[in-house]
Amino acid sequence: MAMVDEPLYPIAILIDELKNDDIQLRLNSIRRLSTIARALGEDRTRKELIPFLSENNDDDDEVLLAMAEELGSFIPHVGGVEHAHVLLPPLETLCTVEETVVRDKAVESLCKIGSQMKERDVVDWFIPLVKRLGAGEWFTARVSACGLFHIAYPSAPDLLRAELRSVYNQLCHDDMPMVRRSAGLNLGKFAATVEPANLKSDIMTFFKDLTQDDQDSVRLLSVEGCAALGKLLEPADCITNILPVIVSFSQDKSWRVRYMVANQLYELCEAVGPEPTRTELVPAYVRLLRDNEAEVRIAAAGKVTKFCGIISAQSAIQHILPCVKDLSTDSSQHVRAALASVIMGMAPLLGKEATIDQLLPIFLELLKDEFPDVRLNIISKLDQVNKVIGIDLLSQSLLPAIVELAGDKHWRVRLAIIEYIPLLASQLGVDFFDDKLGTLCMQWLGDKVYSIREAAANNLKRLAEEFGPEWAMQHIIPQVLEMINNPHYLYRMTVLSAISMLAPVVGAEVTCQTMLPVVINAAKDRVPNIKFNVAKMLQSMIPIVDSTVVDQTIRPCLMELNEDPDVDVRFFANQALLACEQVMCA
């Protein structure tokens, strides 16, 4: 066995480990394939490394995935674009493996390489590869082939183009539904490269066949194709070819297809233009909003703002708003939650008057919903309405909703509302906040659930940032410091963490005057957990406060903690002391 020179040793190991028994080592080697290629040089990379990789493709999926990814940016390592074709064989085999993520990555890399290749090389190497995959024995190859046509087609001469189109046609009618799905999914990309004449004839025929497929999964993927193809076609062609498809999809027997339409209708509107939207698609959308399947209504309700954005305010009020009213009392809570998450965005679109007349009652209704998610979704988007009508009209209903959410028995709900408090505070203003919400914020510090107490501490910090240190000094800090006398140590810990969060916001002076004494006092706590948290906190305060304070107050306290019987306390005190030293030296 040859011994390897010292500087080459790591590379030698890297190469050897391409075939190690341990998958982690193989993965590591594959990830650094470019280093190996540089060590072997361009010539030997082409002649040895790439064939080696092509032959050794019987590996774990993770390794294959990494290989597919690395090869995508390997052109410089094989000697530039003129040699790019040597990379195709290993990727071609990766296109046929049964793991979808590996195949997708291989296709992506092939596209990346193919788009850099010279036109003649594409004809000589890439197009034959596409044809081979398209006629592959197993469906995996054919699925991959569909994603390569848009790279191959532009470089192909006329005769070859006709052939490629016929191969794609076969793929659209493949026996395997997964191949048809892939053909449907990639049709938009392929269509974008096809000349207009063939687009109208061939591609539209493929499309029509896919939209009439027996398999729901194929049909629902072609919904996306509607928007993509619609953008490529002339408006007139779009109306004759795409619009009827959309309308019939919106009444498809399968709720999954209708669900897809509901999700994408607003994009389809852009494709067909304003007039057909008004005459055809608004009625279709109204039907979807009134669909008898809740999943479809959820999707439709979630897009109501986007849809109103592309139609006139008048037609939104006339056609969509009545449906929205009905949805706000829908029997499915998920429909109401989806509506609540977007409905606030309708206010700027409809203008002040319509918002007050029509939307406000709906908001108020939803704020009283029995399902907390609905209320939360309304509250989270408050800023959008505030801009249009101001907060006053809502504030009376807001408060009970907030108070109720704040005391909800599910802690996740409480957590969610805490996270919106800074937003609410900025919308409602200091006065309203002080009156109504201040006590709530303190109440959360004493919650039974740790996550709530933690969020509450963080909330105080954000409030202090919002309203300024002075306000914090008056309204937050005294109450927080008072809680340090809580008999339970976990609550005392919360106070400490609140102090550590507030300290950077309120500045050195307030910290030293009011908060530091409390912390120093807590160092005498009987619970070690408190004590080492004090040590940690003092360490975090060092950069904030004056060096004299560090020297006179913090350091003596830490010295004391450093003598503590508890090992953890000593450890953190020691850490903090080291930090002290560093600050002193600097």
Partner 1 sequence: MAQVASVASFGSSGQLTLGYNKLNSLWGIHLVRRTSRTLRSSSCRKFDYLKSLEIEEKINKIRWCQTANGARFLLSTNDKTIKLWKVSEKKLKNVSNLNVDPSVRHGNGNLVGSSPVQSPKGYAPPRSINGGAVRRTLPPISSDFVFPPGGIPSLHLPTVWSHETALVARCRRVYANAHAYHINSISNNSDCETYISADDLRINLWNLEVSDQSFNIVDIKPVNMEDLTEVITSAEFHPSHCNMLAYSSSKGTIRLIDMRQSALCDRHAKLFEEQEAPGSRSFFTEIIASISDIKFARGGRYILSRDYMTLKLWDVNMEAAPVATFKVHEYLRPKLCDLYENDSIFDKFECCLSGDGQRVATGSYSNLFRVFGAVPGSEEASTLEASKSPNRRLVQTPTKSGNRLFNVRGGDSPGSEINGGQYDFTSKLLHLAWHPVANVIACAASNSLYMYYA
Please report, as ranges, the residues that interact with partner 1 according to CB under 8 A.
1-16, 18-22, 24-25, 35, 38-45, 48-49, 52, 55-56, 58, 96-98, 100, 138-140, 176-178, 181, 214-218, 253-256, 292-295
Q: What secondary structure, in 3-state letters, does 54-111 show?
A: HHCCCCCHHHHHHHHHHHHCCHHHHCCHHHHHHHHHHHHHHCCCCCHHHHHHHHHHHH
Quote the least distance from Cβ 285 to partner 1, whole Å: 20
Quote the least distance from Cβ 297 to partner 1, whole Å: 11
Nearer to partner 1, 138 or 450 (CB): 138
Report which DSSP code applies to 344.
Answer: T
Nearer to partner 1, 17 or 564 (CB): 17
State the Cα torsion 47-49-52-58 to the nearest 10°.
-150
Quote the least distance from Cβ 177 to partner 1, whole Å: 5
Q: At what angle do helices 333-343 and 360-367 cross, to 10 degrees?
A: 130
Quote the least distance from Cβ 85 to partner 1, whole Å: 20
Task: Tell me the two tokens of residue 573.
Answer: 């005190």
Nearer to partner 1, 20 or 575 (CB): 20
Quote the least distance from Cβ 117 to partner 1, whole Å: 24
- Which of 76, 110, 106, 78 is CA-nearest to residue 94? 106
Quote the least distance from Cβ 300 to partner 1, whole Å: 14
Dist CA 446 CA 482 (whole Å): 12
Quote the least distance from Cβ 455 to partner 1, whole Å: 27
Dist CA 426 CA 424 (whole Å): 5
Nearer to partner 1, 58 or 563 (CB): 58
Q: How far is CA 162 from CA 272, 446, 507, in A?
A: 29, 73, 73
Place of tokens 């999700």: 263
Quote the least distance from Cβ 40 to partner 1, whole Å: 5
422 three-state secondary structure = helix
Quote the least distance from Cβ 4 to partner 1, whole Å: 6
Nearer to partner 1, 22 or 158 (CB): 22
Task: Tell me the two tokens of residue 223.
Answer: 């919904």
Nearer to partner 1, 215 or 315 (CB): 215
Quote the least distance from Cβ 248 to partner 1, whole Å: 14
Nearer to partner 1, 212 or 474 (CB): 212
Q: How far is CA 210 from CA 120, 151, 328, 560, in A?
A: 33, 22, 36, 78
Nearer to partner 1, 40 or 545 (CB): 40
The DSSP secondary structure of 353-401, one letter per residue, reads HHIIIIIHHHHHHHHT-SSHHHHHHHHHTHHHHHHHH-SHHHHHHHHHH
Nearer to partner 1, 42 or 408 (CB): 42
Q: String of b and e for 109-146 (b: at least 16 CB within 10 Å)? A: bbbbbbeebeeebbbebbbebbbebbebeebbbbbbbb
Nearer to partner 1, 331 or 396 (CB): 331
Interacting residues of 171 by C-beta distance below 8 A, sequence separation 6+: 134, 142, 145, 146, 179, 180, 182, 183
